């Protein structure tokens, strides 16, 4: 089987820096596994790697969609599969980096996903239903067909509820059973980065401040002019929280505080996902930099 290295974990723990270091050491190319970095023009809020940071390492699946275009897990699996073939054929190591857990799970565990037309049809039907009956009833329906998934999804997170129902409707299998039903098609090594929660949250808050200083508000204004939260890219954290400020509904400190809060909540969900859904080798490079040696040893033993 083809070998694939993946660098995972919550936001702001150093995945980008580690991925470039490992790519240089093991002759790799990086495939972004982030659902927002596919969008052009949104550089600050999605924390895209800069050309300087790339240090000559090829990066893929960044800036491949306009902000009004959808990008689904099915799209990612198709694109990433092709790239893994190409990178492997060049004798190099494919390295997937990102925090969108479902994308990585769908790829590595070969989950059954519908094509674009089917995705849109089923999702549109479920979204229409949710608007008609409300979040509570949608969650109760999920709880009937897949109680294990419902137990891990808040009632008010209608997007995740719909995603779980979508998988059930399209495949006939429960969302919570997908990892067990799937057959992995790659020899994958998953390296996870994490740190003490207080430190991760502190880094997230600081990152948001840096993003604001770098021009995040201008990106959000540009995105609002093109549709705001009515288009796919406008639903991303870091943008959707600024729209109410830009339309005069709230003040800027409130909007920034909301970005930080949503980012912290997202980091917690990311960590829970990777811990519960995937077999990951965990390291804490932020607080224990010497663990880099253990990371390199883990990858070397798996690769050779």
Pairing verdict, β 3-8 and 93-97: parallel
11 belongs to an annotated ligand binding site: yes
What backbone torsions phi and psi does residue 287 show, to the nearest 5 degrees? -100, -20
Q: Are 239 and 42 in contact (CB under 8 A)?
A: yes
57 annotated binding-site participant: no
Is there a binding annotation on residue 9? yes
Report residue 32 CA to chain centroid gap. Answer: 9
**Long-range pairs of 229-236 with CB within 8 A, sequence gap ≥ 24:** 231/67, 231/68, 232/39, 232/67, 232/68, 232/69, 232/70, 232/71, 233/36, 233/39, 233/42, 233/65, 233/67, 233/68, 234/67, 236/36, 236/39, 236/42, 236/45, 236/46
User: Cα–Cα distances in Å, from 147 out to 105, 142, 143, 174?
Assistant: 20, 7, 4, 9
If you ran DSSP here, which 8-state letter would residue 40 be given? T
Tokens of 151: 């137990």
Q: How many Å separate Cα 224 from the centre of its chain? A: 22
**Does 234 show up as a binding residue in the annotation?**
no
Binding site annotation covers 14? Answer: yes
Does the annotation list 49 as a binding residue? no
Residue 134 among known ligand-binding residues: no
Instruction: Give which of 86, 2, 16 is closest to 52, Cα–Cα.
Output: 16
Annotated binding-site residue? 15: yes
CA 7 to chain centre: 12
Which residues are known binding-site members for substrate? 11-16
Which residues are known binding-site members for ATP? 9-16
Which residues are known binding-site members? 9-16
């Amino acid at each position: 089987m083809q070998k694939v290295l993946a660098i995972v974990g919550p936001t702001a723990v150093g995945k980008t820096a580690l991925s470039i270091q490992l790519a240089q050491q093991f002759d790799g190319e990086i495939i972004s596994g982030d659902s927002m970095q596919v969008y052009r023009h949104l550089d600050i809020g999605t924390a895209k790697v800069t050309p300087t940071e790339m240090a000559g390492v090829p990066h893929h699946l960044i800036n491949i969609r306009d902000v009004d275009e959808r990008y689904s897990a099915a799209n990612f699996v198709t694109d990433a599969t092709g790239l893994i073939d190409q990178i492997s054929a060049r004798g190099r190591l494919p390295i997937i980096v990102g925090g969108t857990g479902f994308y990585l799970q769908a790829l590595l565990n070969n989950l059954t996903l519908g094509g674009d037309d089917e995705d849109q049809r089923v999702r549109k039907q479920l979204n229409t239903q949710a608007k008609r009956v409300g979040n509570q009833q949608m969650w109760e329906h999920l709880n009937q067909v897949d109680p294990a998934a419902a137990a891990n999804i808040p009632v008010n997170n209608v997007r995740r509820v719909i995603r779980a129902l979508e998988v059930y409707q399209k495949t006939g299998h429960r969302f919570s059973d997908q990892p067990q039903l799937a057959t992995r098609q790659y020899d994958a090594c998953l390296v996870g980065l994490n740190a003490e929660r207080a430190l991760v949250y502190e880094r997230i808050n600081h990152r948001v401040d840096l993003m604001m200083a770098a021009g995040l508000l201008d990106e959000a204004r540009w995105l609002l002019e093109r549709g705001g939260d009515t288009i796919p890219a406008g639903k991303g954290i870091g943008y959707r929280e600024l729209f109410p400020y830009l339309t005069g509904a709230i003040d800027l400190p409130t909007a920034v505080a909301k970005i930080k809060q949503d980012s912290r909540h997202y980091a917690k969900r990311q960590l829970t996902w990777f811990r519960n859904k995937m077999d990951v080798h965990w390291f804490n490079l932020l607080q224990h930099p010497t663990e880099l040696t253990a990371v390199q040893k883990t990858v070397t033993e798996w690769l050779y």
